[in-house]
Amino acid sequence: MIMAFSLKSKPKIIELPTAKNAVKKGHLGLNSDTLKRFEVLQSNCEAFLDGPLAEAYRYHFHIPGKMIRAQLAFQSAILHSASEADADRWGFAVELIHNASLIHDDICDSDVLRRGRQSVLAKFGHQTALCLGDALIAHAFGLLSRESIPRVLIAKLASMVRDCSGGQAQEFDTRGYPNWSTYCEIAGGKTASLLAGAVEGGALFDPTANDNPIRSRCCHQLALVYQMLNDTRNIVTAKGSKTPSSDFSNSRPNVVIVLFRDSLSAEEREGFDVSLSRKAQANTKFDKLTENAWWERLVISDIGRTVEAKIASIMRDTESDFEQLSPAMQQIISPLLTHATEVVAEQNLALLNQFTLSAKNRNG
């Protein structure tokens, strides 16, 4: 399963603030002064927590992640006339919501790893993880209580939390495995809501700013690509083993599985769905054999090229939308677009290496 990816031309990026070493350090384009101010907000948040919540908070934020959403929110707010202090608060509020969603996502999926080490769930238990996520959400709304911050921004953050929660809940819908259209709805909720919302919320600092559907679509498309890359990674890392990936075993929405299912005939799709539903109800020997048979069929299929085509098509549309944005908005979104392109390239290289190794093993 090899993915090739290329843009028809390089995006017109204005004075790109992202460097590869900045990505590796974990922060995507935030300058040192902004990071220092975020660290103060982070310490202030910790001061409101006691006992096990404070310990779990320090542990989780010891590795802060890329802070993509914080950057988007901060830069958008500054562009739309927010003060530096208010832009900081909006950026950190969005970042808190994102981290709360990660902690709750680990609970939903029973994931024991996050950012290369134990998740809060694994280290502190379900109860503390759940309460920490709730505390982060509460603090995010508290950050927006300043009189200088538009009241509409609180409503925007609430809608972002609601949409993210809704997308997450759709992952556990037992009424059937999603098709491509439903998958896009799920990704739009759990992933795009915070990425696009960070930019859209920043625009609310300017009461004269109008809705920008092109800007929103650009952010939503990039979020969909990020989700697709994450899903593909889940399949690829399990491809060399004899057991199905975690998404496959747990019947989680995954773009590779979704497009594989959509490629089946109606009769085959019915059999595939029956296998998934049986697997969800009982872990019998028959179900395991059936699951492994479908997994083997997916692994040897050519579905990777379909995923490749989807990602390439979405990125072409994204580039087209990007070119229609104002130079100032391009400045804000360019790190997200560039990072997406870099991640695609890195994953393509990993896929190519894996394919070469598999071919050598098959041919002796």
Query: What is 230-246 written as a DSSP string?
Result: HHHHHHHHHHTSSS--H
Confidence of residue 137 (pLDDT cuts 50, 70, 90): very high
All domains of the chain in start order, with CATH: 20-354 (1.10.600.10)
Confidence of residue 11 (pLDDT cuts 50, 70, 90): very low
E strand or H helix at 207:
none
Give tens-digit pLDDT for 246-296.
Answer: 899 888 999 999 999 999 999 999 999 888 775 545 555 545 667 788 998
Per-residue confidence (pLDDT) for residue 321, from 0 to 100: 96
Please tell me which residue, 21 or 206, carries the higher pLDDT value.
206
Confidence of residue 237 (pLDDT cuts 50, 70, 90): confident
Q: How confident is the model over 96-119, as a mean pLDDT?
A: 95
Residue pair 117/26 in contact (Cβ under 8 Å)? The answer is no
Q: What are phi and psi of 113, to 5 degrees?
A: -125, 140
Tell me the CB-side half-sphere exposure of residue 277, using CA atoms within 13 A: 12
Tell me the CB-side half-sphere exposure of residue 70, using CA atoms within 13 A: 27
Confidence of residue 363 (pLDDT cuts 50, 70, 90): low
What is the three-class DSSP state of 250? coil
Nearest to 346 by CA among 358, 354, 357: 354
Alpha-carbon dihedral of residues 116, 28, 136, 122, nearest 10 degrees? Answer: 0
Bridging pattern class, strands 117-118 and 113-114 = antiparallel
Q: How confident is the model over 164-184, as a mean pLDDT?
A: 91
Distance separating alpha carbons of residues 260 and 298, to the nearest angstrom:
7
Percent of the chain past pLDDT 90, that is, above it, reads 60
Whether the CA torsion 64, 93, 229, 273 is positive or negative: it is positive
E strand or H helix at 118:
strand 117-118
Residue pair 254/247 in contact (Cβ under 8 Å)? The answer is yes
Angle 67-228-181 from CA coordinates, rounded to 5° = 120
Residue pair 119/59 in contact (Cβ under 8 Å)? The answer is no
pTM confidence score:
0.84
User: Does residue 165 surpass a pLDDT of 70?
Assistant: yes
Q: How confident is the model over 18-25, as a mean pLDDT?
A: 34
Per-residue confidence (pLDDT) for residue 127, from 0 to 100: 97
Q: What are phi and psi of 118, to 5 degrees?
A: -60, 140
Q: How confident is the model over 44-67, as a mean pLDDT?
A: 94
Per-residue confidence (pLDDT) for residue 4, from 0 to 100: 37
Percent of the chain past pLDDT 70, that is, above it, reads 84
